Amino acid sequence: MAAMEVKQFVFNHFMVNCYLLWDEETKQCAIVDPSAEATYEDERLAQFVDKQGLKVVKVLLTHAHVDHIAGLRQVCERYKLPVTMHRDGLKLLKQAEAYGSMMGFMVSAMDDLPTQFVEDNQVLKIGTGSEIECRYVPGHCPGSMAFVLHNEKMVITGDALFHGSIGRTDLPGGDYPLLIEKIRSRIMVLPDDYMVLPGHDDHSTIGEERRYNGFLV
């Protein structure tokens, strides 16, 4: 199976981790959580794509909170792609402009963006052999997904699971018992050596979270 390269960017005043995943052989690429807020951040992302000779074929969302989609319109329009997400996050996507104004993000309405929906357990192929398994992990908000890269032993957890913490559940659609149940049944079932790539802050491993995360121990 082809190897996948992963590059992390940190964008906007909420310090969101945006990930680029690409197939080494074909240079096909997925952008996860395009969160560039400022023009220079958007350009930094585009310049990296160009310099590496990447062909963006997917724009993926772990969830549609405004800090994770601050640069969504720019990316979708630049690469002429729909946003790929879980359908339960569509309401949040449509509320992006309103939430943005409350949280200091200047984003335009997202209602007109073309969408493509992914389901729990669906496997997306990038290039000839790189695979991304989609796992549904609601609780932080409706529509939350984790993306598992089994060949690379990595999981992108969005705002479900952090290094030593979990996502907040006090925002609309948050559900603490559901989040804990989904983290346990969909993320913590992965092997200890899988790297956890969260939506904010530093990465860790499943093993570290199993031993030291106070919400899960």
- The per-residue DSSP string of 147-204 comes to EEETTTTEEEEETSEETTEE----STT--HHHHHHHIIIIITTS-TTPEEEESBS--E
Task: Report pLDDT for 96.
Answer: 86
pLDDT tens figures, 144-195: 999 999 999 999 999 999 999 999 999 989 999 999 999 999 999 999 999 9
- Cα–Cα dist 93/64, whole Å: 5
Residue 107's pLDDT is 87
- Whether residue 1 is predicted with pLDDT greater than 60 in this model: the reply is no
- pLDDT exceeds cutoff 90 at 64: yes
Reported pTM: 0.97
pLDDT in tens, 194-207: 999 999 999 999 99
Spatial CA neighbour of 142 closest among 67, 73, 65, 60: 65
pLDDT (tens digit per residue) in 27-51: 999 999 999 999 999 999 999 999 9
Give the domains, in start order, of the chain with CATH numbers.
4-212 (3.60.15.10)
pLDDT digit string, tens, across residues 116-147: 999 999 999 999 889 999 999 999 999 999 99
Average pLDDT of span 64-70 = 96
pLDDT recorded at residue 94? 92
DSSP calls for 75-113: HHHHHT-PEEE-GGGHHHHHTHHHHHHHHT------TTS
Residue 22, pLDDT > 60, answer yes
What's the confidence (pLDDT) of residue 187? 98
**pLDDT for res 100:** 80
